[in-house]
Amino acid sequence: MVSVVERLEKCLRGWEDFWFIAKVLNSVISENEVQMPLLNESAIGLAPIFRRKLLNIHQESFNLQDFLPTDGCWLGYGHPVPTFPSYLYPWCQHSRRVYAITRELQEILNATSLEGVNWQDIQFPFPAYAISLEQPIVRCDGRCYDFIVVHSYELKEGDRSAMVIRLALFSNRSEDYQPLTVKRRNEILAMVTNREWRRLSKLCNELLEKVRLVSFTDIAFNGKATMGVIETAQKVYDEFPTGDKEKSVPMWDAMIRIVVGMCLYLKTLPPESPHQSDWRPASRTGLPDPRAISHEAKVCTISSCYQLTREERIMLGIEGTTEQRAVYELSCHFRQGHWRRAPGHGSFPDAPKTVHVRPCIVRKDRLREGQLPGGSEAQL
């Protein structure tokens, strides 16, 4: 079963529309000299190839800054959509994984205290991944958020290093956004050709307001590994403007409990899994991975880990001949970080799992140019 990650796809479509509108506005500004055009915004020209660049992030260099607004960008000031690639890019690079949390588990995590938990106690399953909530987080003004993108990395400054956790919380308002169709874009370009500047200026401002439907709110936590999660969050909350603090802190507090609590919850799961099988060495044919994403429209597409493909059923021995299982090759995929027992203690079930295995890409050699590993959804 293949599905589109609606929140990410809608935001990506909104981001593409934003820079298309910016390009049209540039024509209006250049013609009427009412303001400085956005000549330094490389995203205006490169936005159409962003999806194609994402497909090649594991084969060629990728400059994320080419797709982000510069510091002097005045268009859409305070609008988060132009910065969306800073979240989509690491998600595509590191996991393409979505964890779907049930309402029951969400309630348990919300009711669990994080007192005494330090950042060093947290091992993120991937440097970047997403969480889908069955029960939306409701802000005091009634706005609902049901999707989180998590991105963690280490920031080094000289001899010092700190952990940075960036979180983006997506609203379900994106369901109301209707992206620009090819026909509508052609109509707007025809207006540019006909030099309908006044009409274009009004239309572009209206379209920019509609793009705000797919906006998201984000926050970053910086702290040392030995710092407490609650203390780090409180430092960030203290910097909120007084008016925003009352309506935003409860929302972010609930989200932090889910993100951090999920990481701790994953460490408590038993090692047995219905999707875990004995490792079997297999010959490598060097054939391309048929499950890899190779179409630009499928950048935000994933598959459910509970709907086994024929290849997976053959690997697990559910179907297929012995010869088929012998030549089966693993698809290229992201492997989740996990804990294992120390070397020499693997056969002792009571031995503590103290060795951390980092997230990685398995069978990257099966990717061809312009392909991404297939993503997946895990139900918790």
Tens of pLDDT, residue by residue, the chain (380 residues): 568 899 999 999 999 999 999 888 888 877 776 555 565 567 888 899 999 999 998 888 889 988 988 766 666 556 788 889 999 999 999 989 999 998 888 988 888 888 888 888 888 989 999 999 999 998 888 889 999 999 998 887 777 777 889 999 999 999 999 999 999 999 999 999 998 988 998 998 899 889 988 888 888 888 777 888 888 888 888 888 777 777 788 888 899 999 999 988 887 766 555 444 444 444 556 667 666 778 888 888 887 654 445 655 555 454 566 555 444 566 777 776 666 667 766 666 666 665 666 677 777 777 777 777 777 777 65
Which helix or strand (DSSP H or E) is residue 143 part of?
none
Q: 34 with 75, same domain?
A: yes
Instruction: Decide if 30 contacts 97 (C-beta within 8 A).
Output: no
Q: 238 with 304, same domain?
A: no
**Inter-axis angle of helices 85-94 and 6-32, to 10 degrees?**
140
Decide if 277 is inside a domain. no
Name beta bridge partners: 3.
302
Q: 198 with 96, same domain?
A: yes
319-327 long-range contacts, Cβ below 8 Å, gap at least 24?
325/280, 326/282, 327/282, 327/283, 327/285
- pLDDT at 77 (0 to 100): 59
Pairing of strands 355-357, 333-335: unpaired
Q: 207 with 308, same domain?
A: no
Q: Pick from 229, 253, 268: which residue ends a domain? A: 268
Provide the CA 323 distance to its chain's centre, in angstroms.
39
- Full domain range(s) for residue 148: 2-268
Decide if 121 is inside a domain. yes
Instruction: Decide if 282 contacts 311 (C-beta within 8 A).
Output: no
Q: 135 with 30, same domain?
A: yes
Decide if 285 is inside a domain. no
Instruction: Decide if 319 contacts 310 (C-beta within 8 A).
Output: yes
Q: 209 with 248, same domain?
A: yes
Decide if 361 is inside a domain. yes
Decide if 230 is inside a domain. yes
Decide if 70 is inside a domain. yes
Other Cβ atoms within 10 Å of 161 Cβ, number: 11
DSSP category for residue 305: T
Q: Pick from 248, 268, 288: which residue ends a domain? A: 268
Residues contacting residue 184 through CB under 8 Å, at least 6 positions apart: none
Instruction: Decide if 169 contacts 255 (C-beta within 8 A).
Output: yes
- Residue 105 Cα distances to 195, 263, 296, 380, angstroms: 56, 13, 34, 7
Which helix or strand (DSSP H or E) is residue 50 part of?
helix 50-55
Q: Is 353 exposed, middle or buried (0-12, 13-18, 19+ CB in 10 A)?
A: middle
Number of folded domains in the chain?
2
Decide if 350 is inside a domain. yes
How many angstroms separate the CA atoms of 274 and 289, rounded?
24
- pLDDT at 277 (0 to 100): 42
Q: 264 with 354, same domain?
A: no
Q: 239 with 154, same domain?
A: yes
- Residue 82 Cα distances to 78, 190, 240, 265, angstroms: 10, 25, 22, 34
Q: 102 with 249, same domain?
A: yes
Q: 178 with 232, same domain?
A: yes
Residue type, position 137, single letter: I
Q: Is 87 helix (H, G, I), strand (E, B) or coil?
A: helix
- pLDDT at 355 (0 to 100): 65
Other Cβ atoms within 10 Å of 30 Cβ, number: 14
CA dihedral 307, 309, 311, 312 (to 10 degrees): 0
Decide if 287 is inside a domain. no
Q: 192 with 244, same domain?
A: yes
Q: 7 with 108, same domain?
A: yes
Q: Pick from 250, 268, 286: which residue ends a domain? A: 268
Q: Is the dihedral of CA 69, 72, 75, 77 positive or negative?
A: positive
